[in-house]
């Protein structure tokens, strides 16, 4: 039968701590539809309209220069783009909070430096105290490695096996914590492309309406033509803005996760190197 030292300390997986993206998207869609119908579709933005229900028939033209009314005339694509935009905003705030919690209370660079300094002195207890003070996912991973470090000092195993046990513990702890840090980032990455595509789709619909106005018999309906072009441009602008915001958010949070991953890798290397240098067996 394998001993505990041979199989490593068993760890239970953690549930992700972030917000469920499906709930966020549904909530964002409800808000987007409400904003579209009652804010963009307010009769004050349209010539001759007296109620929201009249505006919803799409028979009234927006007032000259009224961007909100023009945006409403973009049709069903507008709530979809607004849903994507709101989802990016909500998930960005959620990731900012989650990653700040994962980083811990203090400065991450100082934390890594102080732990390495205590490792060189052989003061594992002090290093564990720093982890307890720092908290967060990075500190939890380092603390798991420190506990395995102390455990290996009491085991009668080959030195190489002990080092591999420490590495395995760090890898396992990282595998448990990393998904919670990366949660919802794939959704933001998807929106970076989808937002732009939906904006282009709205543009195509607006241009179809514009060319329909050109193709009518008799004189060209200049109002319908200008409204159609305006709708196309507004949809394009909103879609591009949504995609750009998603790209910025994804890059920003990916960079933060990379910094934490580098810190974890550095601590893992320091732990194994310290054990190799300070222990003969």
Contact 58/113 with Cβ under 8 angstroms?
no
Provide the pLDDT for residue 122: 86
Q: Kind and range of the H or E element at 85?
A: helix 77-103
* Cβ-based burial of 68 (10 A; exposed 0-12, middle 13-18, buried ≥19): middle
Provide the pLDDT for residue 7: 39
| Extents of the domains making up the chain | 19-278
Give the angle 51-232-194 at the CA atoms, nearest 5°. Answer: 105
46: three-class secondary structure by DSSP: strand
62: three-class secondary structure by DSSP: strand
In whole angstroms, how far apart are CA 236 and each of 9, 78, 80, 150, 239? 54, 10, 13, 59, 5
Distance CA 180, CA 32 (A): 28
Provide the pLDDT for residue 59: 84
Kindly state the tokens that stand for 52. 């929201």
Q: Which residues of the chain have pLDDT under 70?
A: 1-17, 213, 215-224, 226-227
Provide the pLDDT for residue 142: 94
Q: Which residues of 149-184 are buried (b: 16+ CB within 10 A; e: fewer)?
A: bebbeeeeeeeeebbebbbebbebbbebbbebbbbb
């Amino acid at each position: 039968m394998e001993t505990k030292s041979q199989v490593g300390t068993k760890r239970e997986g953690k549930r992700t701590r972030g917000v469920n993206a499906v709930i966020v998207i549904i909530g964002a869609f409800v808000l987007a539809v409400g904003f579209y119908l009652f804010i963009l579709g307010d009769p004050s933005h349209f010539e001759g309209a007296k109620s929201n229900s009249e505006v919803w028939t799409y028979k009234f033209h927006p007032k000259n220069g009224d961007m909100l009314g023009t945006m409403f005339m973009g049709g069903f694509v507008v709530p979809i783009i607004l849903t994507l935009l709101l989802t990016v905003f909500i998930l960005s705030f959620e990731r900012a909070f989650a990653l700040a919690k994962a980083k811990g209370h203090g400065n991450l660079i100082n934390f890594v430096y102080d732990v390495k300094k205590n490792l060189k002195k052989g003061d594992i207890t002090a290093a564990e105290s720093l982890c307890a003070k720092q908290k967060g996912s990075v500190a939890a991973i380092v603390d798991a490695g420190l506990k395995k470090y102390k455990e290996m000092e009491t085991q009668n195993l080959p030195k190489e096996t002990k080092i591999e046990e420490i590495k395995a513990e760090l890898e396992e702890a990282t595998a448990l914590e990393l998904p919670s840090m990366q949660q919802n980032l794939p959704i933001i990455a998807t929106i970076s492309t989808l937002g732009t595509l939906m904006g282009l789709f709205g543009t195509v619909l607006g241009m179809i309406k514009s060319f329909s106005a050109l193709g009518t018999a008799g004189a060209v309906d200049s109002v319908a033509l200008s409204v159609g072009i305006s709708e196309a441009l507004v949809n394009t602008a909103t879609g591009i803005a949504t995609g750009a915001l998603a790209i910025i958010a994804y890059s920003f949070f990916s960079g933060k996760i990379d910094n934490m991953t580098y810190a974890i890798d550095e601590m893992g290397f320091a732990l194994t190197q310290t054990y190799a240098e300070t222990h003969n067996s």
